[in-house]
Amino acid sequence: MTKTHPMTNSVSYLRLSNLVCVLAAVAALQGCARDPQTTGAIPDDYRTRHPITLSEAQHSLDIPVSPADNKLPGEMADNVKGFVQNYVASSTSVVQMQVPTGSANAASASIIKRQIRSVLTSSGIPAGKIVEVPYGASPYGDAAPIRLSYVAVTAMTGQCGQWPEDLNSNTSSNKNWYNFGCASQSNLAAQIANPMDLVGPRGMSPIDAERRSVVLGKYRAGKNTATTND
């Protein structure tokens, strides 16, 4: 009878153990690769699907004009002033004033456009940046408005309400639907007063040297440096 050396049995057992470990690791990797639920269970990020970007957009104000009007109403003048405030805060482009021609209110629009121009210049827009452009309007139907517009860099998202796939297709993979989060992103973009805040922080305001001297003086004297309200 041939006897097997103990060292040979140990080496064979070690090789068998290593082989089992390798096969187990390969099986685990194959299981991860074939199981779509491993990564599919993580919901999509709506911020990457509907990002807020900076784009040039047209801002406009329509001023209705009745055929019988010969003066710009006070509330519409206030709307024009609000339009100017938004323009001064966000743009340096020209302001385009589109005036209707050929419509029933064309004569009234010709009178009121001069009053609108006066409000624009008195509110801070240089006369050289106001460009008047006539446009043809139908002689029938609603009164054609005078439109003020300018172009400015604006924070905005893509168009919401897109449904490229069935909602049921996202149920098994635990993903939110395509339009999810679009309205929230769009509303957030509309609330951003300065779109450049998305690019980088603003510079710090100058320090209050007088207040700093008072605080340091109290600190050196061992007094309370907190601000007190009378």
Q: Going from the N-terminus, what domains does the chain have, and what CATH number goes with each?
A: 46-50+158-198 (no CATH), 55-154 (3.30.1330.60)
Residue 223 CB coordination number (10 Å): 10
Over residues 156-189, the pLDDT tens digits come to 998 898 888 777 766 666 778 888 889 999 999 9
Q: Quick check: helix, strand or coil at residue 36? A: coil
At 22 the pLDDT is 56
97: CB partners within 8 A, 6+ apart? 113, 116, 117, 120, 130, 131, 132, 133, 146, 147, 148
At 28 the pLDDT is 55
Region of residue 181 (left: phi > 0; alpha: psi -120 to 50; beta: else): left
Blockwise average pLDDT, block size 10, the chain, 230 residues: 50 56 58 47 73 91 91 92 93 94 92 95 93 89 89 91 76 76 92 88 85 90 82
The residue whose two tokens read 């009053």 is 115
At 96 the pLDDT is 96
At 64 the pLDDT is 92
At 137 the pLDDT is 87
- DSSP track, 79-98: HHHHHHHHHHHH--S-EEEE
At 170 the pLDDT is 63
